[in-house]
A and B are shown apart, each in its own frame.
Chain A
Amino acid sequence: MRAVDDLSFTVDAGRVTGFLGPNGAGKSTTLRMLLGLVRPDTGDATFEGRRYEDLPHPSGQVGAVLEEASFHPGRTGRDHLRVLATAGGHPQSRVADVLEQVDLTPAGGRRVKGYSMGMRQRLAIAAALLGDPEVLILDEPANGLDPPGIRWMRDLLRAQAAQGRAVLVSSHLLSEVSQSADDLVVMSKGVLRAKGPLSQVLGASEGGPVTRVRAADEGALSAALRAAGITAAPDPGGGLVAHGTGTAAVGEAALRGGVALTELVAVSRSLEEAFLELTGTDA
């Protein structure tokens, strides 16, 4: 059985790339291939041209949080980080730094078996940040987090990307990805379905882009659009909706018709609609 087939994409520095797909799509397997934990039959996964295991300082260049975060339950959070800092050749001072960064300093001396799911997730993120890596890979990091935790995670990802890091985050939480990702890679059944900037992937729906436009004189607006060959229908919320036409063409048509606009908005499909369409899954 092929878990992942003919998948190719790149993740850029300074951007959050959402890696989206339904359960069983092959996301986790792909991330584990990136990290050398699973060996692909053919092909390579590289970081600036080098496989993970060939990097001079792997955990200093790539930090990873995998879906099933692994800890010895009898070891304290601080000791868990001490082990990884030592093995990765990172200064021990980083342990206190990352504990502070994920708000776990007070719990650092407690054994992990007493941690909540959210605390374990924070500890896993702290481990990923130990080497101050240029690349962050996170597999379903919002799992088990409460709403404030999810918000915290989203802010963290954005902050990491803003500092120039490449962030690849897998999720099946559609709303979460749409709020934090710049780019999207969508896969289903082990196959790549779409990739590109979020707006591009969302805009690539059947029928093309959708634009909502309003004017004080909607009759004149409707006539101007018709004159430009743009089909528009009344929107139940007010104004007109033009299917298959972007904001630039609608705005230009209104200008030519001498109609003053009060609203001109590109209406994206919801990520959920795009996701269902792209992955071929049922609602």
Chain B
Amino acid sequence: MATLKREVKIVNRYGLHARPAMMLVELANRYSSKIEVSNGQLTIDAKSIMSVMRLAAVQGTILTITADGKDAEDALASLEKLVQDGFGEMEPADDGPSI
């Protein structure tokens, strides 16, 4: 079980603000693998909301997700999909992040 790695780009307008960050953390916590996210400068535990917020990932940021464990492959696939789908925020929204 090697460490798997995937690069993703933040596409939704307001980036990893509180709600998407919580979605990412909740999803990561469903897997037993050790999951980390890096923005190039900072590598953090994807299961910690405070840490994910610290990435300050705005629209366009490239993140590297690594996963190590039994369900690493599934974890990466579902996390990648979540980010690519813009955390369900891709419909036109002009009134700022919801929370």
| A, B from the same assembly | no
Interface residues of B (CB under 8 A from A): none
Interface residues of A (CB under 8 A from B): none
